[in-house]
Structure 1
Amino acid sequence: MGTNLLLLLAGAALLLLVGAKQTMFTIRPEEQGILLRFGKYVRTVDPGLHFKLPFGVEDVFKVPVQRQLKQEFGFRTAKSGSETQYVKRGYEGESLMLTGDLNSADVEWVVQYRITDPVLFLFNVRSVESTFRDISEATMREIVGDHSVDEVITWGKEQINQEVNEKLQERCEQYETGITIQVVLLQDVNAPPPVQPSWNEVNAAEQEKDQLVNQAKTKYNAEVPQAQGEASQVIKEAEGYDLERVNHALGDREKFIQVYEQYRRAREVTRRRIYLETMTEIMPKAGRKIIVDEAEKGIIRFLNLSEEGVVK
């Protein structure tokens, strides 16, 4: 009798100890606890010490809602730290894609996300992480299929990141996964290994073409403005010469009209004045000057006005 009582008390104590241990649980700062009673959602608890009913009556699922999670496609991180190591073998099926211009591209990318609704994340979608992975891969293939291989491999990566981010977030909300996308990042994007040498040759040719185009533009920018400036200067000089000739002609016309008016009013006086003005302009330009008096007969008398005839 005493032994049975002792065993009963020991069992009760053990039961109380196990129950007490199952009753208490702790939620860490980056987590939220989802409490179920007989498999049905009851409440969400925040970080700290909490209690629940033991013996399977209530269960708690801890969800890292404050932690940034990620999924890798086309590779896996084998070792992180100062010397991060990646493994690509075995994941080619995720990364090999068809572009919009029917070329192939080897696309590796990362999706960083957070769980913003832990209840939806746990209970609304079966195998939510696997489903989310399938949605991410399907979305990337769709967006890559809308772009050329040049965009995917070279200059269109930022646009593709943005488009995949937006489309993936729409689908996560549509399927009520409880996930919010933080960022989509294309990593190593290249032509597939079998065609990589040909792609490198094409890329080198494109770079050479761009270099020649830039050189031509530089030469154009250096020479064409100079030629345009010279042409503009010639045009301005011609316009100035034209304006000068026109003004000169107009001045001669006005002068002629004035002289004509004076001549019409006093013909003899005007004729004499014009003669004297003309001789005044001509005489300084003449060389040797000899004036002969026509009235004299016999011995010719003349006035030597040249420098040789001046006695000093």
Structure 2
Amino acid sequence: MQDWGQGPSGEDLEKKIIDFSEQVKKKFDANKPTSFKPLLFVILLLVVIYGGYSSMYEVDTEETGVVLRFGEFAGFSDPGLHFMMPFGIDTVYLVPTGRVLKEEFGYRTVSPGVRTTYNKRGLEEESLTLTGDLNVSDVEWIVQFKIADPFKYIFRIKDPVGTIRDISEAMVRKAIGNTDVTRVLTTERAALASAIEQDLQDTLNQYDVGVRIVTVKFQDVNPPDPVKAAFNEVNESEQQKESLIFQAREQFNREVPRARGEAKRTLQEAEGYRAERINKAQGETNRFLALLTEYRKAPKVTRQRIYLETMEEVLPKLDETYIMDNDASGLLPLLPLRKAAEGGSK
């Protein structure tokens, strides 16, 4: 079992008491042994002091005390000062239930702070994992958890932290082993971490460890150092490919809507021209039918009216007009009425 924080066990104090009792006994043996009352008084006083000292313990604000009485679970104790049965009758284990505990894989924090320093030497067996396409990746991750049930955490299994580490490492290798290296190194980190967190929690629930997983997070995922340069070239090529695809999509989104707009405008213009021609043809047809109806009623009058209307439309477009008469012996004098009218208008 791990070395949990406990209340005062009194082992050191007990040794001091025994040593002190021996010294007092020798001193009284050296003197006249007329009475044992002073020795008994000193021993009784030391026993009372030891009992009082071992009957008190303190639980920190981020801890929960697990109390055992004669080795059997007796209950939990909240933060604060408490009393317990002395002389080893009660035993208290202090468990940090209020803190988020963290386990690191593939690296270790040497000195935390503003500039945290890490160490990776000798941890390659933790970090090197095999992907689904038989590539090797260097994975660093953390597991953060809280103790939900301190009694189960202490007594269900011998080494709860070691168990969490072993199960976490197995879950990570399983998830990465089912994924190709490109997704592991680029796009699938968050999804993989979420799946690992769920699988890890389910497995720990089966073990009934009394632990709640807070998060599983990949700190760094890289190819191994011998192939890092080659992978970076491949990654740059992939990024260039994605950039070209993005540019092509951008041009597509710019040109295609414009072409579609022009095509739609052309179709609308054609539809309008079509409707105009149809309406005009229908109008001329109706006009012709109306003239035909009038012509059938009075052919001569209608023919004369059509002739006059046509002349009214044609004559104004001519520069000069000559009127010929078959009975006349010469040209009919022409009065330039239109030119006179134009001159007058000017």
Taking the aligned partners of 1:190 and 1:160, their CA distance within structure 2 comes to 15
Describe the superposition over 1:64-93 as per-residue Cα deviations: whole angstroms up to 9, x where unpaired. 111111101111110012221111111111
* Closer, same or farther: CA 308–137 of 1 in aligned 2, 3 Å: closer
* Closer, same or farther: CA 59–192 of 1 in aligned 2, 3 Å: same
Give 1:40's aligned residue.
72
Q: CA deviation at 1:306?
A: 5.0
- Quick one: which of 293, 300, 309 aligns to 1:268? 300
Amino acid at match of 1:301: L
Q: CA deviation at 1:308?
A: 10
The TM-score, its normalising length taken from structure 2, stands at 0.84
Q: CA deviation at 1:144?
A: 2.0
Give 2:193's aligned residue.
161
The TM-score, its normalising length taken from structure 1, stands at 0.92
What is the SS of the residue equivalent to 2:179? coil
Asked if structure 2 preserves the Cα contact closer than 8 Å seen for 1:292 and 1:303, the reply is: no
- Quick one: which of 23, 40, 49 aligns to 1:8? 40
Taking the aligned partners of 2:174 and 2:223, their CA distance within structure 1 comes to 18
Q: CA deviation at 1:296?
A: 2.5
Q: CA deviation at 1:170?
A: 1.0
What is the SS of the residue equivalent to 1:189? strand
Give 2:25's aligned residue.
none
Whether 1:206 aligns to 2:232 is no
Give 1:63's aligned residue.
95
Whether 1:302 aligns to 2:337 is no
User: Is there any run of 5+ residues in structure 1 with no aligned partner, and where?
Assistant: none
- Quick one: which of 316, 323, 328 aligns to 1:284? 316
Describe the superposition over 1:141-186 as per-residue Cα deviations: whole angstroms up to 9, x where unpaired. 1222233322222222221221111111111111011111111111
- Quick one: which of 279, 282, 289 aligns to 1:247? 279
Asked if structure 2 preserves the Cα contact closer than 8 Å seen for 1:109 and 1:186, the reply is: yes
- Quick one: which of 187, 211, 224 aligns to 1:192? 224
- Quick one: which of 62, 75, 95 aligns to 2:127? 95
Taking the aligned partners of 2:64 and 2:97, their CA distance within structure 1 comes to 6
What is the SS of the residue equivalent to 2:323? strand
Give 1:215's aligned residue.
247
Give 1:133's aligned residue.
165
After superposing the two structures, state which structure 1 stretch, 82-91 or 154-163, moved more: 154-163
Amino acid at match of 1:255: R
After superposing the two structures, state which structure 1 stretch, 3-12 or 287-296, moved more: 3-12
User: Is there any run of 5+ residues in structure 2 with no aligned partner, and where?
Assistant: 1-32
Asked if structure 2 preserves the Cα contact closer than 8 Å seen for 1:287 and 1:306, the reply is: no
Taking the aligned partners of 1:255 and 1:93, their CA distance within structure 2 comes to 98
Taking the aligned partners of 1:306 and 1:220, their CA distance within structure 2 comes to 68
Taking the aligned partners of 1:17 and 1:308, their CA distance within structure 2 comes to 143
* Closer, same or farther: CA 98–306 of 1 in aligned 2, 3 Å: farther
Give 2:57's aligned residue.
25
Taking the aligned partners of 2:34 and 2:176, their CA distance within structure 1 comes to 79
Give 1:224's aligned residue.
256
Q: Number of aligned pairs?
A: 310
After superposing the two structures, state which structure 1 stretch, 213-222 or 242-251, moved more: 213-222
Amino acid at match of 2:298: A
Asked if structure 2 preserves the Cα contact closer than 8 Å seen for 1:112 and 1:184, the reply is: yes
Q: How does 1:172-183 map to 2 (within 5 A)?
A: 172-183=204-215
Taking the aligned partners of 1:240 and 1:38, their CA distance within structure 2 comes to 101
Describe the superposition over 1:229-286 as per-residue Cα deviations: whole angstroms up to 9, x where unpaired. 2222121111111111111110110011011111111111111111111111111122
Q: CA deviation at 1:307?
A: 7.3
Q: CA deviation at 1:221?
A: 1.8
Taking the aligned partners of 2:334 and 2:226, their CA distance within structure 1 comes to 109
Give 1:148's aligned residue.
180
Describe the superposition over 1:34-64 as per-residue Cα deviations: whole angstroms up to 9, x where unpaired. 1223322222222222223333333211111
Stretches (4+) displaced over 4 A: 305-310
* Closer, same or farther: CA 2–141 of 1 in aligned 2, 3 Å: farther
Whether 1:74 aligns to 2:106 is yes
Taking the aligned partners of 2:239 and 2:105, their CA distance within structure 1 comes to 30
Amino acid at match of 2:205: E
Cα RMSD for the two superposed structures: 2.1
